[in-house]
Amino acid sequence: MLAELLRRFRGAEVPGAPVGAGAPADAGTALEAELAGVFAALAATEREADAIEAEGRRTAERVRSEAAERARALVADARARAPGELAAATAAQLAQTDSRTAAVYDAAAAEAARVDAAAAARIPPLAGEIARRVLATAPVTS
């Protein structure tokens, strides 16, 4: 990786007259030496960034784990309370139903009393009228 990066900085030769044979200058070594300090400083920064990332991952995992534990506790609590909540809701519904039933029963009893009172008021005169008509149409036997 470093060698590839350094190749990008390799200088181009200036065209000119051919020179005699000799050992070519090692431009790569000079560039590598020139940039070694920069890469050393970057290495420390890279290690620091890696440490920050690792700490972030540990923190995220801890937060996820704590959240999962809280969720499990909430579900367990809800499951433990569910029968009591259901019983309370059922009792409230039954009480409301009993109240409605009592109201309907009271209304029916009041209506029955009204019908009985109306009948009691009408029966004697009607019975008397029926008896009078029966007696009026009946043959007289002596």
For the chain, domain boundaries: 37-135
Total number of residues shown for the chain = 142
- Of 15 and 132, which is predicted with more confidence? 132
The answer to whether residue 8 scores a pLDDT higher than 90 is no
pLDDT tens sequence across 84-96: 999 999 999 999 9
The tokens describing 53, both together, are: 């990332």
Which of 43, 32, 37, 38 lies closest to 8, judged by CA? Answer: 32
The answer to whether residue 113 scores a pLDDT higher than 80 is yes
| Contact yes or no for 56/27 (Cβ under 8 A) | no
The whole-number average pLDDT for the span 106-118 is: 94
pLDDT tens sequence across 54-77: 999 999 999 999 999 999 999 999
- Looking at residue 37, its pLDDT comes to 83
Q: What is the DSSP secondary-structure string of 75-96?
A: HHHHHHHHHHHHHHHHHHHHHH
- Looking at residue 126, its pLDDT comes to 87
| pLDDT > 70: percent of the chain | 80
- Looking at residue 138, its pLDDT comes to 73
| pLDDT > 90: percent of the chain | 51
- Looking at residue 16, its pLDDT comes to 58
For all residues of the chain together, what is the average pLDDT?
85
